[in-house]
Amino acid sequence: MDDIVEEARVDWIDMGHAIGIVSLAEGGEDDLALLRRAGTLVARLVREGRLVPGDIGTRPGEFLSWPSSPDESARHLEYVDAVVSGTKPYEPWQPCMFAAVDGPTPS
């Protein structure tokens, strides 16, 4: 989890970044298993207030945090369950981007 937060301190990340970090740290080649694990970790980091979900704004360097509470945001990340079950396709940058709470704002 610390590796995911460290990456988000450097620049915003998406679920694909989290999957790559989990793959490097824990190994494995099953994309769905990696997505499931990364989704669980990211949701936990959002609940703990270490990551903030949001979207890229229209101005350079603008990150728009979701207005929901950490618990509500983490529940929204159950999008991962729909991808793993095959009811939704995996799309880059979905369901959002993530920024570290104490990280610098990328430009």
What does the pLDDT look like over 13-66, one tens digit per residue? 998 899 999 999 988 878 888 888 998 899 999 999 999 999 999 999 899 999
pTM for this model (two decimals): 0.83
Look at residues 60, 59, 56, 62 and name the one whose alpha carbon lies nearest to residue 97: 56
Mean pLDDT of 79-102: 79
- The pLDDT of residue 75: 86
- The pLDDT of residue 64: 95
Look at residues 50, 43, 60, 44 and name the one whose alpha carbon lies nearest to residue 103: 50
Strands, E, within 1-107: which ranges?
A: 51-56, 63-65, 97-100
How buried is residue 106: exposed, middle or buried, by Cβ count under 10 Å (0-12/13-18/19+)?
Answer: middle
